[in-house]
Each structure stands twice: as C-alpha cells, then as structure tokens.
Amino acid sequence: MDARPRRTAARRTRSAAVLFLVLATLASGGVLQTAAHAAVHRTKNFVVNAPTPQLAREIADSAEAWRERLAIEWIGEPMPDWTEPCKTVVRVSPNLGAGGATTFVFDRGEVFGWEMTIQGSKERILDSVLPHEITHTVFACYFRRPLPRWADEGACTTVEHKSEVGKQERLLIRFLKNGQGIDFREMFGMKEYPADVLPLYAQGHSLTQFLIERRGKPAFLAFLADGMVDEDWRRAVAKHYGHENEYALQEIWLEWVKAGRPRLELEPDVAVAAATPTTPQSGFPVRQVSAQTDERLAANRSKSVYMSYDQVEPPEAADAPREPVRGWAHGNDAAVNGGATYWR
Ligand SMILES: [Zn+2]
C-alpha cells in the first residue's frame, strides 16, 4: 500500500482543477462543449475531456475498447464496469511528448477514484499511452493492491506500440553499459519510483517480456501474486521460474539481452497448460466498490492513493538531458540505481 500522501506535479493539479470545473457543467452523457476545455464525452467507464468533440469521442471509445481487450488479454475476462467513470483529461498535439498519469485509491480490498491525464500526438495516445495507462487499471482491479513498480510499469510498457517498445530496448542497452542497471534484489523491493525512473522502466519492461515469453502471462501474474504475499522474492523466483535467487535470474536475463533478445519458446512444462490460459486467481474479484462517496474518496486520497506517472516517450539522444526526468519522479530520495554495472 502506498502510504505516502498524494504527490502531484503542478501541471497535474491544474489539470484536475480544470477537470472538476468541466464536470460541474456536465449534465448527462454525450458530447458537451465547455469553455475550460473544448469538449467532454462520456461512456460507461470514462469521462473524457479533450480539445474537440470528435477527439473526446474517439478517445473515450478507444479507451473502452482497450479496457475490454487488455482485461481479456491479461485476466481472461472483461473487467466489470466501474461504479464511477474514470475522469480523463487529454492534451493532444503533434509535438507533445507522449505520457500519462493515472491515480486511484485502494481501500479495504476495493479500488476506485479513477483519474487519468494523458498527452501526446493523437496517434501515440491511441496506440501507446491509453493502453499503458489502462493496463495499470486492469492490474489494480485484479490485484486490489499496488504492484512492485518494475512489474507494473514493465507490464504496462509491453502493450505499447512497437516504436515505443523499441525506444525502451535501446535505452536499456545504454543504461546497462553506463552502469545504470538496477540490481534485481533492489528492484524487486521497490515500492516507489527511484529518483531516475527511466532505467526502471527499461529494465522492468525487458524482464517482464523475458518472463512472459518463458512461461506466459498467467504464470507471471501468479509469480507476482505469490511474491507479494511475503515479499520474499528469492523464494518466489525459485518457485515460479526455477532459479536459485534473484541474482541467478538477473544473470540469465542479462545473457538473453546480450544475445539480442531472441524470441523464446514457452518452456515445455508450461506449454500444455498455456494452451488453456488461466490466471492464478480466476478472473476479477467479485467484490465491487460498496460506495464511492466524496468523503471516502477524500479520506483515502490522503493515505492510500496509488499513482503511476509515465513518460511513455523517453528521450532518444545518448546525451539527452536528465532534468525533465526529475520533474516527474516521485520524490523518493533513495539512490538505488547508481552502483551496478551489468554489461560485462
Ligand atoms: Zn505506467
């Protein structure tokens, strides 16, 4: 559980203020012109605030489609409708870097209070930012608790467009060569973002992809669910992937990266089981949100909000400035990624 108070960038606070202003004028479904943002479109699970009515509708419809597709892909069934729609603010411009932030509240096995801000070109919003942010919501509804950051961000990155995934893969090589790789034992224990988040995203994505290719998505989810029970990741790695400890997994993953990430066959003992995919916990928890009141939302926002804050489109240049990264890190002062050099 993320016990820290909500920390938001100034940009986000402004967006939220605009959002609530707009919602106050929203009578019912459909497209509504507003002064604060150009238009709002409401579907069952999203209220999208976008620059034009057409964009608001297109993004809301795409969000619903991704929501259904990704839930089936990961969990094996569609996600039940939320009790309240996700408040979604969109900034669209061809020159905007692609990124997003999603917040929600965990409270006594329930999750609610969905808010999303996304930005980028229309193309990247539809094929990368939306699926990334919506995958966060799928995991939140399934696990009903925060995931380790490497796994959450890593898995969400696997559903992005291949051009975005390719950037992460190129960044990973750079980080490993520069000694910015994160020791697996440290990475597995991270509940918050490190000060420099890009290595976590790149490495988290690569390890997630490696594990999914080897044993499939249900096994990956089972591994996470099991490891979160006691945070004994050494035990979970041994049980679910057959390595003695995190370091043994780190070494074999690194060999795979050095070999150019060749496509892997499902390991023989899971190939048969994978033909009929099942998740460790069958489907989404039946328990829904008992009541989402403003009071309950406000009380929990101060203690159990969970937030992803993504720059989906990382800087490409080898000497790209680091300053923008600090702006959207989470304020964790721990220096966790300076020591290890994996690329030998
Ligand atoms: Zn994310």
- 312 Cα to the center of ligand 1, angstroms: 8
The pTM (predicted TM-score) of the whole model is 0.79
Contact assessment for residue 15 and residue 88, using Cβ atoms and an 8 Å cutoff: no
191 Cα–ligand 1 center, Å: 13
**Cα 152 to ligand 1 centroid, rounded to whole Å:** 7
pLDDT in tens for each of the 344 residues of the chain?
333 333 333 333 333 333 333 232 233 334 444 445 689 999 999 999 999 999 999 999 999 999 999 999 999 999 999 999 999 999 999 888 889 999 999 988 899 999 999 999 999 999 999 999 999 999 999 999 999 999 999 999 999 999 999 999 999 999 999 999 999 999 999 988 898 999 999 999 999 999 999 999 999 999 999 999 999 999 999 999 999 999 999 999 999 999 999 999 988 776 555 555 566 778 898 777 888 888 888 877 766 667 776 765 554 544 443 333 222 222 222 222 333 334 43
In this prediction, residue 312 carries a pLDDT of: 52
Could you tell me which residues come within 8 angstroms of residue 14 by beta carbon, excluding any fewer than 6 positions away? none
- 145 C-alpha to center of ligand 1: Å? 15
Q: Are 131 and 159 in contact (CB under 8 A)?
A: yes
| CA–centroid distance, residue 253 to ligand 1 (Å) | 22
* Ligand 1 centroid from CA 98, angstroms: 12
Instruction: Please tell me the predicted confidence (pLDDT) of residue 326.
Output: 25
**Residues forming a β-bridge with 106:** 111
CATH number for the 10-283+292-328 domain, one of 1.10.390, 2.60.40, 1.10.3470, 1.10.530? 1.10.390
Task: Supply the pLDDT for residue 303.
Answer: 62
Which is nearest to 88 in space by CA: 36, 48, 128, 146?
48
Q: Are 30 and 23 in contact (CB under 8 A)?
A: no
Q: Measure the CA–CA gap between 60 and 130, rounded to whole angstroms.
A: 10
Distance 121 CA to ligand 1 centre (A): 17
133 CA distance to ligand 1 middle (Å):
6
- The Å distance, Cα 35 to ligand 1 centre, comes to 30
Q: Which residue has the tokens 């808010």?
A: 115
DSSP three-state, residue 339? coil
Neighbours of 334 (CB within 10 A): 11
CA dist., res. 229 & res. 268, Å (int) = 27
Neighbours of ion ligand 1 (CB under 5 A): 153, 156, 308, 310
- The per-residue pLDDT for 36 is 53
- For the chain, state the CA radius of gyration: 20
| Domain ranges for the chain | 10-283+292-328
Q: Reduce the DSSP state of residue 337 to 3 states and report it.
A: coil
The CA 135 to ligand 1 mean position distance, Å, reads: 8
Give me ligand 1 centre to Cα 187, in Å.
16
The helix (run of H) or strand (run of E) holding residue 177 is: helix 162-177
Residue 140 alpha carbon to ligand 1 centre in Å: 12
The rounded Å distance from CA 130 to ligand 1 centre is 10
- Cα of 156 vs centre of ligand 1, distance in Å, is 6
How far is the centre of ligand 1, averaged over its atoms, from the C-alpha of 268 (Å)?
32
User: Do the bridges between strand 32-33 and strand 39-42 make them parallel or antiparallel, or are there none, so unpaired?
Assistant: antiparallel
Distance 25 CA to ligand 1 centre (A): 30
Please, are residues 211 and 148 in contact by the beta-carbon 8 Å criterion? no
Tell me the three state secondary structure of residue 321.
coil
